[in-house]
A and B are shown apart, each in its own frame.
Chain A
Amino acid sequence: MKKGLRWKLILTLGIVGLALFLAYPPGKKINRGLDLRGGIHLVLQVITEDAINIDTDEEINRLRDQFQKKNLTSTSIVKGRIGQITIPGTIPDQEGAVRDLLDENFRNWDYVFVGATATLTMKSEVQMYLRDQAVNQALETIRNRVDQLGVAEPTIQRQGLSGDRIILELPGVDNPERVKNLIKTTAVLEWKLVKAGPAADEQALLTSFGGTVPEDAQVVKGDPKRTSGGFYLVERVATVTGKDLRVVRRATDEWNSPAVSFSLNPEGGRRFERVTGENIGKQIAILLDDKVISSPTVEDVIPATSGGIIRGRFTIDEAEDLVVLLRAGALPAGIKYLEERTIGPSLGADSIRKGLSAGIAAVLLVMAFMVIYYRLAGVNAVTALILNMVLLFGALAYFRAALTLPGIAGIILTIGMAVDANVLIFERIREELLTGKSILNSISTGFSRAFTAIFDSNLTTIISAIFLFQFGTGPVKGYAITLIIGIAASMFTAVFVSRLMFDLTVAGKKRKDKMSI
């Protein structure tokens, strides 16, 4: 054997061996996409305006404080459009002082004075930062929640680098509805003292306050599922919030119904102790996302270290979900679903079965054709095709690319397309043979002259597959990947390996005047 051939043979066997090692056993090494294993695919959007609104609210409070401190007067400070604050009715001779204040302490804001009205606009880079933060925090919170749920191998990622969309892939989830609700809940938990309520409507609620909501209070609704409904008047400032929680567990109350027990961090515990001590006999409302889930009456002072329980007519699952939510923390902004795809495991199993039978049929058809039409050379092509499949699976395993149903279609298509290179070469060799050239000569010119066409045609297929990859979502991406890998592998197997096989067989033969092609 010639030295060059030996090295080529070793290289080929090495690569094929590596691919086999990577891909075997395929059941374990090849990652199945959601459409084949079943699961949920969700695209959600973080409502980033929420983050800007929250920040604006905080800034308004700060402004009010500072106005008071500096003895500035203003009729009101109100929120305008998103990221805007207006201060109407600034007394003209105060303008300088207000400007100084804004310059000094509110550098995140641009401001203009028109007449007596000052308008503050949040700087766009600050807005962008807040939006970006909101998405990152939401991503983190959702990841925590999914981890708490114990979903195996979840994919949670941001769509694009700066978008407000998050893509979630959760394989093998039994109860998609529950997971969807769990992820979507903002989960801001607050304890607020009740000033009045519950009442059937707002008017009844406010009778003892002269029909208007006091400055330091707000009207909230009772969650119809958890309470008897109705309206509550509660303090604006929360006594403790979800951020003060330290340990959260599912528990049962004294009547053995599901509940959630909690303990507080030292600071929150002290506040809780003081407020409960001062308000014995009053109700304290527990609000989840601004809805009252229960409003127990304070019977005694609750010591800082003892914690308590949250009741809310929970089922076991609901109590468990609340635990997950409280442990994972609140979302910084609201969330909206844009796309939901749930695939049951049965459909995935069925797809694999059908994909497999289509694949086997395709392989057999193509192989039979090649062997019948090209005889021994056909066997050569078939070997190249098998190696192509081995390399394809090896590469899929190596890149951890998910195999999807369209991906299976891509593999099947590759079977049909990969033999193209062999066909091009064989037809050229036949032509060369017909002109009366020797076998060795025909093989070598056949390969070299077919190569440009093979290269150009495969490259264009890869170009279009790359555009497909750019555009695609999950399953289509899987398709583009298998097509790209399959075509690239076919360049190696159909050109390099196939040539090697020809060279090996021809080199071993004594009579070199007949060729089976």
Chain B
Amino acid sequence: MLQIFQKTNIDFMKYKYLAFALSGTIILAGLANIIFGKGLKPGVDFSGGTLIRILLKSPLPVADVRQALNEQGLGNSVIQEVDKGQQEYIIRTAGLKRDEIQAEQDLEAHEIIGNRIVETLKSAEDKASAEQGLIDFNNAGVKEITAVLQPAYPDEAASLAERIINFRVEKGILEDFGMLREAGISDEVISVLKDRTFLGSLTVLSRETVGPQVGKDLRRKATQATIWALVGMLVYIAARFKLAYGVSAILTLTHDVLVTLSVFSFTQREINLPVIAAVLTIVGFSINDTIVVFDRVRDNIKMMRKSPFEDILNASINQTLSRSVITSGTVFLTVIALYLFGGEVINDFAFTMLVGVISGAYSTIYQSCPIVYFWQKIFGTGRRVRR
């Protein structure tokens, strides 16, 4: 039988003060940074604004992108490069000052700035071609391409157009009409396309604009959801176990949430909806460990009547240790897979989970049990706590 741990007998409780100090330091430093330092960086979902994700036909260094935007007075936009190929960028419009624009018009103002950013990054040839009445192939839909092919291919225009657009969707953007040969499009069709369309220099992959009202709403809802989830845990654990365990569970979870927020304030990653989803998942997941240990404690209290409470806690942690490590391990493996292969859109989520899984595994052992211990010591009836 393959085992990570032989029968262990580690005195985890011995390190409780050290653990408190470590967690306390991280959380206090994090809170200090949040309140007095850099703070948390809310993403578009919570602060409002426009986020545009563009794909360029040919590579353009980030410095050039910045300069182009600077020239148009859009220099305070946040530019983030997605791939190493210098072809994909995420651009966020800078927050508009309240006195600049009425709250009512915020959304439209962001939209206008968004449009300007897209227009700025389009090349001069694009504009010239568009003025000649050519259609931008890289931004056209099936309907437009069908119309282009209709005169030459009256019968098969629609099906051809669908094949062509599907291919372009797959590729994101075409650099050369010749690429269409890969999709089995004949040279004759390609020459018709060349005559009546042009390959635009960029395509907008996604664009999100969140108005200030929605941002505010989401902020409120996210905080509420997190707090109610914690309260839900407290009630459930207190009902299934005892109040001491419920209190300990909720403090442990708060610990995990705070550690995660601290990491976000230090790394200055943006907080968006998926991050909140991850935080709530951590709340739900981290408590699994805690419950498993408490479940053991519940068993062991009956079996080890003579032992001091601290020993019962230690024994319980040791008995469930391999399970805790394995489960955290499998979840960690899946989260790592998400983090590495899941792509940019889901990356923040995966990162949050990564932090949370580590924090959750640690806090079960070093926070939840010591907290129960102290609670029993202070408020306990003395029956369970034997000194």
Q: Which residues of A contact B (CB under 8 A)?
A: 35, 43, 45, 174-176, 336-347, 349-351, 354-355, 357-359, 361-362, 365-366, 369-370, 372-375, 405-406, 408-409, 412-413, 415-417, 419-420, 423-424, 427, 430-431, 449, 452-453, 456-465, 467-468, 470-473, 475-476, 479-480, 483, 517
Contacts and interface: CB of A to CB of B under 8 A. Distances in A.
Contact of A340 (B2, B140, B209, B296): B209
B281 interface: yes
A350 B333 contact: no
B284 interface: yes
28 contacts: A176-B207, A337-B211, A338-B210, A339-B107, A340-B208, A341-B206, A346-B170, A351-B345, A357-B341, A358-B346, A406-B346, A406-B349, A409-B346, A409-B350, A413-B281, A413-B353, A415-B330, A416-B330, A416-B331, A416-B334, A457-B289, A460-B233, A460-B288, A460-B291, A461-B287, A462-B284, A464-B233, A468-B225
Contacts of B204: 342, 344
B337 A365 contact: yes
A367 B366 CA distance: 30
A342 B206 contact: yes
B287 A460 contact: yes
A351 B344 CA distance: 9
B308 interface: no
Contacts of A475: 273-274
B335 A424 contact: no
Contact of B333 (A176, A369, A462): A369
A424 B208 contact: no
B334 A413 contact: yes
Q: Which 3 A/B pairs are nearest by Cβ-Cβ distance?
A: A174-B141, A464-B284, A354-B343
B240 interface: yes
B342 A347 contact: no
Interface string B310-350: 00000000011011001101111111011011110110011
Nearest to A372: B2
B141 A430 contact: no
Given A338-B214, A412-B337, A460-B236, A427 B53 contact: no
Interface string B91-118: 0000000000000100110010000000
A304 to B, nearest CB: 38
Interface of B is mostly: helix
Contact of A423 (B143, B295, B330): B330
Given A358-B338, A420-B288, A460-B291, A409 B169 contact: no
Contacts of B104: 336
Contacts of A357: 341
A361 B333 CA distance: 9
Contacts of B343: 350-351, 354-355, 358
B158 interface: no
B221 interface: yes
A346 to B, nearest CB: 4
Nearest to B349: A409
A434 to B, nearest CB: 8
Nearest to A340: B209
Contact of A471 (B222, B236, B333, B350): B222
A473 B323 CA distance: 35
Contact of A461 (B173, B285, B319, B329): B285
A342 B225 CA distance: 26
A468 B221 CA distance: 10
B224 interface: yes
Given A175-B141, A406-B274, A406-B346, 18 more contacts: A35-B345, A337-B211, A347-B205, A351-B346, A361-B340, A365-B333, A365-B337, A366-B334, A369-B333, A409-B338, A413-B331, A413-B338, A453-B295, A460-B236, A463-B229, A465-B281, A468-B281, A471-B276
A98 B212 CA distance: 46
B281 A483 contact: yes
B137 to A, nearest CB: 13
Which of A350, A355, A480 has its CB near the most chain B CB atoms (within 10 A)? A350
Contact of B295 (A35, A176, A452): A452
B366 to A, nearest CB: 19
Interface string B136-148: 0000111110000
Contact of B323 (A416, A427, A471): A427
Interface string B250-283: 0000000000000000000000011011001101
Contacts of B331: 413, 416-417, 420
A420 B338 contact: no
B166 to A, nearest CB: 9
B203 interface: yes
Contacts of B224: 471
A174 B228 CA distance: 40
Contact of A456 (B168, B291, B326): B291
A467 B228 contact: yes
Which of A361, A459, A464 has its CB near the most chain B CB atoms (within 10 A)? A464
Which of A362, A416, A458, A472 has its CB near the most chain B CB atoms (within 10 A)? A416
Contacts of A369: 329-330, 333
Interface in B162-210: 168-173, 203-210
B65 interface: no
B1 interface: yes
B55 interface: yes
A370 B280 CA distance: 27
B86 interface: no
Contacts of B327: 417, 419-420, 423-424
Contacts of B237: 460
A461 B282 CA distance: 9
